[in-house]
Amino acid sequence: MATRRRPRPLPDILTAAELTLLFKAPNQKCPTGQRNHLMLRLMADLGLRVSEVIALALRDIELSQGKLKVRQGKGQKDRLLVFNPGDQELMAAWLETRRAYANEGPLERVFCTLDGKPLLARYLHYMVQRCGRRAGIHKAVYPHLLRHNFGTGLYRQTRDLVVVKNAMGHRDISTTLIYVDLANHEVEEALRGFRIEEAA
């Protein structure tokens, strides 16, 4: 007799207030803080994976059109994403800063160290965790959590799984279904504390 698989527990996502605190954690007055702030925003606002942030090249940014191309993401799929106006401005400011201090590497990466070397995945994981602690967030904060925030927010806004699948770069729509569960879980949690006030 086949046994039923246990459903996986749903991951946490950050509230809007927690995201605001997280985005304020890097010191944007210094180049690394400006860079880290933008990387946090791209993971949360566009759902970029760590590998996609690291691999992002200058040729992938169409700043005048407000577009960003993810080349050969997971599953070897390209996808085109659109900046929100705030992130578009942050990217323009960061590229100016980057040109001022970092040497162009052979891959012309958007994000690099102060001496122009590629960033490592473990640095991004550490940076996100450190910013979460600095922001005083009492949840485990990690890069893929920000991607979950993006997927849930996009599904909540569009209610269209195909749109979310394509924006996330999923190969199989079954992977995208977790965002339906997360959005429904949010509704359930909101209803727990909801009551209609009766007239006296």
Going by their DSSP bridges, the two strands 79-82 and 61-62 should be labelled as: unpaired
Residue 170 annotated in active site: yes
Tell me: pLDDT of 192 over 60: no
Sign of the dihedral defined by the CA atoms of residues 99, 100, 102, 106, in that order: positive
The region of weakest confidence among 9-13, 97-101, 174-178, 182-186 is 182-186
Span 131-158, average pLDDT: 94
Tell me: pLDDT of 131 over 70: yes
Tell me: pLDDT of 151 over 70: yes
To which H or E segment does residue 167 belong? Answer: helix 161-168
Q: 42: buried, middle or exposed (CB in 10 Å: 19+, 13-18, 0-12)?
A: buried
Residue 159 annotated in active site: no
Residue 24 annotated in active site: no
* β-pair partners for 68: 61, 81
Whole-number pLDDT of residue 75? 59
Q: Using the structure block, give the residue that is written with the tokens 């459903």.
A: 7
Query: What is the set of domains in the chain, with CATH numbers?
Result: 16-192 (1.10.443.10)
At 1-36, the pLDDT tens digits run 444 444 566 778 899 999 999 999 999 999 999 999
Catalytic pick among 74, 77, 117, 139: 74
At 88-106, the pLDDT tens digits run 999 999 999 988 876 555 4
Tell me: pLDDT of 190 over 50: no
Residue 8 annotated in active site: no
Whole-number pLDDT of residue 2? 40
Residue 185 annotated in active site: no
Q: 30: closest CA among 101, 86, 120?
A: 101
Going by their DSSP bridges, the two strands 67-70 and 79-82 should be labelled as: antiparallel
Q: Residue 55 — very low, low, confident or very high, per pLDDT cuts 50/70/90?
A: very high
Mean pLDDT, the chain, whole residue set: 85
Q: 38: closest CA among 77, 80, 76, 89?
A: 89
181 versus 138: the higher-pLDDT residue is 138
Residue 142 annotated in active site: no
